[in-house]
């Protein structure tokens, strides 16, 4: 088992945008041979946190999957990139995005109010997960729907979306028409965390499609795509297609028999998304939770 964080790769897909990527290494686990969220829910699929840097300031977008990872992020910014002031933005409340918060406890940690509420409501669960996030450091700055701020000379917009999780925060760099998408856009497919909210997710995907975004950096995606500058807006359309088809499951149960390659064959064929075998189990789980969730709705 490697030391946590020892397999992290650091890239700069754009000037002033740093990507901290780990995982997607065949046959390797980072935390334990036994089932756990860090290996099975993040590391195996590939996970990336980001930092926007300008004028000695940095804005970190998600604090990664462990304290060790967060320390590498902070040390890289301060010791190698000359950063002397750091703020943090949380994309949403899920464990693999807030696990490193303690390393940034002395910084401003920004989240929308729904993320702060979800972290408070799920504090016991997060602090006793496997591995535990203890203590869970909460946001100390919140906003409602949108927030504009500056990192050095770089303009940044934060926008709330209800995609994947009801409390998503997208980070947009208007000058680059670039969006850091958290888990709202995951490649090749979204992980269904809130099956009863799929209609809400679909509406916000349609709203997002009108934003004029040209490049997208997700927190879970193919390493080579992130290195090359991210995905195009077709990732929004592919996610919308997938969610739309999931919504058909209760009335077309035969769709539940389709594997991932078949379920989204057109988007694989177009090149909008790329196949990655570990997402077969994500797809199977999505079908299961959607069918159960819709029955209970």
Own/partner contacts of 243-248, CB < 8 Å, gap of 24 or more, are 243/190, 243/198, 243/201, 243/202, 243/205, 244/202, 246/192, 246/198, 246/286, 246/287, 246/290, 247/198, 247/199, 247/202, 247/290
pLDDT interval class at 294 (50, 70, 90): low
The string of pLDDT tens digits covering residues 63-95 is 999 999 999 999 999 999 999 999 999 999 999
Residue 297 pLDDT > 70: no
pLDDT interval class at 111 (50, 70, 90): very high
Percent of the chain with pLDDT over 70: 99
The string of pLDDT tens digits covering residues 253-292 is 999 999 999 999 999 999 999 999 999 999 999 999 999 8
How far is the C-alpha of 21 from the C-alpha of 56, rounded, in Å?
22
Say which CATH class 9-296 falls into: alpha beta
Every domain of the chain and the residues it spans:
9-296
Question: Would you say the C-alpha torsion 106, 110, 113, 116 has a positive or negative sign?
Answer: negative
Percent of the chain with pLDDT over 90: 96
Query: If you average pLDDT over residues 43-62, what whole number do you get?
Result: 97
What SS3 state is found at 277?
coil
Query: If you average pLDDT over residues 166-188, what whole number do you get?
Result: 98
Sheet of 178-180, strand order: 146-151, 154-163, 165-173, 178-180, 215-217
């Amino acid at each position: 088992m490697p030391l946590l964080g020892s397999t992290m790769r650091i890239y700069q897909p754009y000037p002033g945008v740093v990507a901290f990527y780990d995982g997607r290494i065949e046959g390797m686990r980072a935390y334990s041979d036994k089932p756990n969220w860090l290996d099975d829910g993040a590391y195996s699929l590939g996970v990336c946190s980001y930092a926007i840097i300008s004028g000695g300031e940095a804005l970190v977008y998600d604090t990664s999957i462990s304290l060790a990872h967060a320390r590498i992020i902070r040390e890289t910014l301060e010791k190698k990139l000359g950063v002397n002031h750091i703020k943090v933005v949380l994309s949403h409340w899920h464990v693999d995005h807030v696990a490193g918060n303690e390393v940034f406890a002395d910084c401003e940690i920004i989240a929308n109010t729904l993320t702060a509420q979800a972290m408070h409501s799920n504090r016991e669960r997060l602090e006793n997960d496997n591995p535990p996030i203890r203590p869970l450091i909460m946001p100390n700055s919140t906003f409602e729907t949108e927030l504009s701020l500056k990192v050095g000379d770089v303009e940044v917009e934060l926008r709330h979306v209800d995609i994947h999780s009801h409390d998503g925060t997208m980070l947009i760099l208007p000058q680059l028409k670039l969006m850091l998408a958290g888990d709202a856009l995951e490649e090749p497919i979204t992980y269904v965390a809130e099956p009863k909210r799929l209609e809400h997710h679909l509406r916000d995907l349609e709203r997002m499609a009108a934003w004029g975004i040209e490049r997208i950096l997700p927190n879970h995606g193919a390493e080579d795509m992130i290195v090359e500058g991210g995905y195009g807006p077709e990732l929004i359309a592919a996610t919308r297609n997938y969610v739309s088809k999931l919504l058909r499951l209760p009335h077309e149960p035969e769709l539940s028999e389709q594997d991932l390659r078949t379920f989204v064959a057109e988007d694989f064929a177009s090149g909008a998304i790329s196949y990655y075998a570990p997402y077969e189990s994500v797809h199977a789980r999505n079908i299961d939770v959607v069918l159960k969730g819709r029955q209970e709705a």
